[in-house]
Amino acid sequence: MSPLSVVARRSLGTLTLTSIFARQHSSLTTELIENMDKKATWDRFYTENSSSNFKNFEWFFGFDSVRDFVLPLLQPQIRTATPLHVLDMGCGTSALGPSIYQHSSVQVTVTCADISPIAVRLMREHVAAKAIEPHHPLSILGFLELDCREMFAHFGADELDLIVDKGTTDALLRSKDGSGKAGHVVRQCLRTLRGSGRLLQFSDEDPDARLLWLETEGREPGERPAQVVVQEVGELRGVRYYCYQVTSPPVVELL
């Protein structure tokens, strides 16, 4: 596929993403398009989106649409007693992370991270007020202010088992110099994952554009391409969505 075709598909995706946003916040649409990678944009968005009657804001779709992609990946650890660590990257005020905490029958530590301290505060307050209970009694739910471009400010190598990305990479890709920023995030994600860990990206971007990009950007110079599997999530409001499952390139042992 030509670079022009990829740009055209991403432009259409930008219209999809921002049209969802504009239905509720038309005054912020221009700022969102131009500054999807900026903390100030999301602080303003979540400030204007907050009210005394809290409601989760879901990009694309909610937990019920993706539970069958996420929960089967949460399997008991055989070689270690360490609980699985799940990161909801760019959580905003989505119910995705808390829902994993509520529905995982396996012990998990769920960290919901976002660049906006407003979103993090709103979610902490909401979860505390609602007193959400986990499926597994030892599971833990936490919230963290974190710029996903600086993953190693908080997470080390081989620390996470699953990273869920519902729209965060899409937002970065559509910002200025977005491909480089988003590629940096993908590489950091793969480095923070344990050997069997996975990165799940939910996106409206067509596989013709996203697959090659992930295979290319998910590797350091000299490494083999990342392994990517794509599944269709379904269609919502005339838009088709996909789940991209990314794992680190296999390590080649020298004989």
**Residue 188 scores a pLDDT above 50:** yes
Query: What mean pLDDT is predicted for residues 229-238?
Result: 92
The more confidently predicted of residues 163 and 47 is: 163
Burial 11-34, CB ≥16 within 10 A → b, else e: eebbebbbebbbeebeebeeebbe
pLDDT over 50 (residue 71): yes
The predicted-structure confidence for 5-27, as pLDDT tens digits, reads as follows: 333 344 334 445 555 554 544 54
* pLDDT for residue 31: 66
What are the pLDDT digits (tens) for 116-156?
A: 999 999 999 999 999 899 999 999 999 999 999 999 889 99
For residue 207, give both structure tokens.
Answer: 């596989």
Mean pLDDT of 36-47: 88
Q: What is the DSSP letter of 145?
A: E
* 5 vs 114, more confident: 114
Pick the residue with more confidence: 18 or 114? Answer: 114
Smallest Cα–Cα separation from 163: which of 67, 70, 62, 64?
Answer: 70
For tokens 């965060």, the residue is 168
pLDDT band at residue 33 under the 50/70/90 scheme: low
Position 144 scores a pLDDT of 96
Measured CA angle at 242 (ends 240, 246), to 5 deg: 165
Count of CB atoms within 10 A of residue 104's CB? 21
Give the per-residue pLDDT at 244: 97
Task: Report whether pLDDT(70) > 90.
Answer: yes
Question: Residue 192 and residue 160: Cα distance in Å, rounded?
Answer: 6
Rounded Cα–Cα distance for residues 170 and 41 (Å): 15
Burial class (CB in 10 A: 0-12, 13-18, 19+), 171: buried
What pLDDT sits at residue 12? Answer: 38
Q: Convert the pLDDT of each residue in 78-94 to its tens digit.
A: 666 789 999 999 999 99
pLDDT in tens, 94-104: 999 999 999 99
Residue type, 149: R
At 157 the pLDDT is: 92
The token duo for 22 is 């504009």
CB atoms within 10 A of CB 184: 16
